[in-house]
Structure 1
Amino acid sequence: MRRIPTLAALLALLLTAACTSSSDDKRPTGPRWQPRPGTDWQWQLSGRLDPSVDVPVYDIDGFDHSAQTVADLHKDGRKVICYLSTGAWEEFRPDADEFPESLLGRGNGWKGERWLDIRRVDVLEPLMAERIDMCRDKGFDAVEPDNMDGYLNRTGFPLTAKDQLRYNRLIARLVHDRGMAVGLKNDLDQIPELVEDFDFAVNEQCAQYDECETLTPFIEADKAVFHVEYELPTSRFCPQSRRLGLSSLLKKYELGVWREAC
């Protein structure tokens, strides 16, 4: 016999539907953004944000900027990338205390930062999901997850290429599940295995180290490569960047407003 739901059951169903609707409303609508090769961009992670640079893409710190900042950039026709560190702990972030000491390895060369034990996905997945939720809730179009090549560095943990592949794919899935695009930061050696999992690449100093050809799989897949040099003049890398289809900038290490584009 079919049971007639009680008033309490009906109220519970309505509450569940309302909560589900609220959660879904936070998801970006439509297909996720796919930046194409040659797309110009601005990368600013320090100083007062200058929204006047006439480029279609801004890459800014996810913690430091509000939903209103993202909305204002959208009003100016920009797509906005959310910078996050996913492979290293930063003592200055508001969620720093949520990371167990056992996850923290050697310093990564930047003050207040230490490599993470990316093998511990049981602990890191919910922490990173919260950060990526923040990017989604602020309205970002994409995420730039940083420090995605710990296995090539002295982290204090015996990380392997297999560990890195699993972790990088986890981050890509978490971002995609929230309707945003995701970029592969550096990690050149694993591009052949990861190009299908990521929507664009972000690279530092491939020209200085004669590695830019390694990024070709992204260009061949019609995916942008956002590239920065710090120590070479533009005359040394822009001709090659134009030939390869990279979106290249000369920046200073602090990644402030100043830029010189190819």
Structure 2
Amino acid sequence: MKTTSWLLVPFIVVLAGCQETASSVADLNSPLPVNVAPVTGETWYQPPVGVTWQWQLLVPDGSSLNDSYDVAIYDVDLFDTSEATIQQMNVSDGRKVICYFSAGSYENWRDDEASFSGNELGNTLDGWPDERWLDIRSSNVHRIMQERLDLARDKGCDGVEPDNMDGYLNDPGFNFTAGDQLAYNRFIANEAHKRGLSVGLKNDLDQVEALVDYFDFAVNEQCFEYDECGLLEPFIDAGKPVLNAEYPADDWLDDANAIDQLCNQAGTLQFSTLVLPLDLDDSSRHSCLSEG
């Protein structure tokens, strides 16, 4: 999910301060260390640069996940994808399955939504009215995310894509810092690795250099559109892929020159770039990679 951080007006700042006061009673008894070392010694999937992939998080009513693409990785929703489907793709089809969940936001439709406390819920995410930012300093939030990683492991996921890992750059309604975010993101990565799960860094471009040693790949939205792709090069330099998605206008796929230009840029950077609908519902798709 791509969010923006540049529209901050005074009354929002005041509101954020009020929410921070309300959140001061949250369970913050287990602050996360920033300078923790990356987990080593475990075995987990480490995808190569240039890996092929498909990203479908939404399955329209009356249909099923489209598993017909000849790709190495499928990125699917952790909660909505059944263990049987994951096992089919993983064992029978020989694909790796990355499981998506939000690590930085509360979603009011998830199975574990009642596990969160009200004082851990911040502002609504821009463009996503059913989601609210989480107080990532809360030990209860940490516990819930550990349980989600347990679920990913138990379902047979090869890795995870934790989303909304950049709340500090937005307007979360809490005064947590870049250091708090760095500590939390390292915590999520290390907890994934402890469970034998590969883990991808979602967006959070400003902290790439501090996090590249902790994550196995990057998942990015619209770095070409926002001219941010250079910030992801440390992943490629480390031999780790960048899974990039662009969300163009509806008629963009009819523009062969625009497609060629984008794919040439992606090829130069060695990014695994897809052109997808914002809903990630498989209603359209263009891959800049050779598949099959």
| TM-score normalised to structure 1 length | 0.86
Runs of 4+ in 1 over 3 A off after TM superposition: none
Name the SS for the 1:111 alignment partner. Answer: strand
CA distance in 1, matches of 2:141, 2:173: 17
The equivalent residue for 2:113 is 96
**1:103-142 paired onto structure 2 within 5 Å:** 103-108=120-125, 109-120=127-138, 122-142=139-159
User: In the aligned structure 2, how far is the partner of 1:93 from the partner of 1:85?
Assistant: 10
2:164 aligned with 1:151, yes or no? Answer: no
- Partner residue, 1:62: 78
Matched, 1:87 2:112: no
CA apart distance, 1:105: 0.4
Name the counterpart of 1:185.
Answer: 202
**How far apart in 1 are the matches of 2:66 and 2:269?**
29
Deviations 1:159-196 (A, max 9, x none): 21101000001101110010010000000000000000
Offset, 1:219: 0.4
Verify: 1:174 aligned to 2:195, yes or no.
no
| Residues in 2 aligned to 1:243 and 1:160: alpha-carbon distance in whole angstroms | 35
Q: Paired residue for 2:279? A: 254
Alignment partner of 1:240 is 2:262 = no
* Match status 1:41 vs 2:53: yes
Q: Supply the distance in 2 between the matched residues of 1:196 and 1:57 (Cα, whole angstroms).
A: 21
Higher relative contact order (CA 8 A, sep 6+): 2
Aligned to 1:10: none
1:96-144 deviation digits (Å, cap 9, x = unpaired) = 0110000000011313100001122x11111111111000000000000
Task: Tell me the distance in 2 between the aligned counterparts of 1:234 and 1:209.
Answer: 16
Q: 2:259 and 2:274 mapped to 1: Cα distance?
A: 8
By how many angstroms is 1:225 displaced?
A: 0.6
**What is the match of residue 236 of structure 2?**
219
1:51 aligns with 2:67: yes
Q: Secondary structure at the match of 2:129?
A: coil
Partner AA of 1:43 in structure 2: W
Q: Please name the residue that 1:9 is paired with.
A: none
Aligned residue for 2:43? 31
Q: What is the identity, as a one-letter code, of the residue corresponding to 1:151? A: Y
Q: Check 1:119–1:240 CA distance in 2 against 1; reply closer, same or farther (3 A cut).
A: same
Contact 2:136 2:142 in 1 (8 A): no
Measure the CA separation in 1 of the matches of 2:149 and 2:208: 22
Distance 1:238 1:203 in 2: 15
2:101 and 2:114 mapped to 1: Cα distance?
17
Shift of 1:31: 2.1
Q: Which amino acid aligns with 2:170?
A: N
The whole-number CA distance in structure 1 between the counterparts of 2:136 and 2:260 is 38
TM score, norm. by length of structure 2: 0.78
Letter in 1 for 2:266: S
Instruction: Measure the CA separation in 2 of the matches of 1:197 and 1:234.
Output: 33
C-alpha contact (below 8 Å) 2:168/2:178 kept by paired residues: yes
Equivalent in the alignment of 2:22 = none
Q: CA deviation at 1:77?
A: 1.3
1:195 pairs with one of 192, 201, 212: 212
